[in-house]
Amino acid sequence: MSNAVQTLDGDISIDGVAEADQYLTFIMADEEYGVDILRVQEIRGWDSATPIPNTPAYIRGVINLRGVIVPLVDLRERFGIATIDYGPTTVVIVLRVEGAEKERIMGIVVDAVSDVYNVKEGEMKPAPDFGSVGSIDFVRGLVTIDEKMIITLEIDQMLSDQEIGVAVGEE
């Protein structure tokens, strides 16, 4: 991560007001996903979580984040990717999610964190239309960096009230 921080500093001093967004990327099932770095509150190693009964399987449970109860979403489960055992690289990325009514703090459980990239405006390509294939709504766009495709995520959409079953009647 120290690498990433350096990159960040460098950009600010050199480009000044470069029209670039920064994305924190993470690995899941060999794909690289990115989230807006300004929404990332912290990254922590996977510890245990307290399961909440009668909630969807992707709600991994809740953890104590310095006195605040924070729910965790297993992103593999959420995306319908086969789950694997959590290992030493498994991390929780704690995100600030802006919901319809209020801001929430939520964590996503992913395989491993990867890097921080600058993505200039225009480098992002919209996600192709997959038709009725689900769980694609929350893809913000696709970026190619070093020949790799990075899928950037719209986390407000991905962790919206409806998606995590907050709205009445959703489970």
Partner 1 sequence: MSVDMSQFYQTFFEESVEGLDEMENCLLNLDVGQADPETVNTIFRAAHSIKGGSATFGFAEVAKFTHVMETLLDEMRSGERLVTQEAVDLLLKSVDILRAMLTATQEGQAIEMDPVTRLQSQLEALLGADASLEVKGNGSSNTSANQNKIWDIHFKPHEHLLRTGNDPARIIKELKALGELEIQVDISALPHFKDIEPSASYFSWDFQLTDAGEGKASKEAIEEIFNWVEDDCDLQIIAQENSNVDSVQANTETPTSPKSMPVETRSSEAQASSKGNPEPKTSVKTPVGKKASADSGSIRVSIDKVDALINMVGELVITQSMLGQFGETFEMDQIEKLRDGLVQLERNTRELQENVMRIRMLPISFAFQRFPRVVRDLSQQLGKQVELQLAGEQTELDKTVMEKIGDPLVHLVRNSVDHGIELPEIRKAAGKPEKGHVKLDAYHQGGNVIIEIVDDGAGINKDKVLEKAKERGLVNENDKLSDEQIFDLVFHPGFSTADVVSDVSGRGVGMDVVKRNIRELGGSILVKSEPEKGSTFTIKLPLTLAILDGQLVTVGGETYIIPLVSIIESLQVKKDQVSAIAGTAELYKLRNEYIPVVRLYDLFHCQPISENLEDGLLVVVEGDGQHIGLYVDDLQGQQQVVIKSLETNYRSVEGVSGATILGDGTVALILDITDLIKLSRTIQPGQALDRGMSHSNNQTSNASLVEQNQATNAAA
Contacting residues toward partner 1, per CB under 8 A: 48-55, 57, 59, 61-64, 67-71, 83, 85-86, 104-106, 164-166
Nearer to partner 1, 36 or 163 (CB): 163
Q: Shortest gap between Cβ of 139 and partner 1 (angstroms)?
A: 24
Q: How far is CA 129 from CA 82, 125, 133, in A?
A: 24, 12, 9
Q: Which residue is associated with the tokens 């029209």?
A: 19
Nearer to partner 1, 76 or 140 (CB): 76
Nearer to partner 1, 35 or 94 (CB): 94
Q: Shortest gap between Cβ of 84 and partner 1 (angstroms)?
A: 9
Residue 38: what are its φ and ψ, rounded to 5°?
-70, -15
Listed residue (122, 119, 129, 130) closest to 152, CA to CA = 119
Residue at 111: amino acid letter:
D
Q: Shortest gap between Cβ of 25 and partner 1 (angstroms)?
A: 24
Q: Shortest gap between Cβ of 38 and partner 1 (angstroms)?
A: 19
In the chain, DSSP finds a helix count (H) and a strand count (E) of 3, 10
Nearer to partner 1, 53 or 128 (CB): 53
> What is the spatial distance between Cα 149 and Cα 31, in angstroms, rounded to a whole number?
8
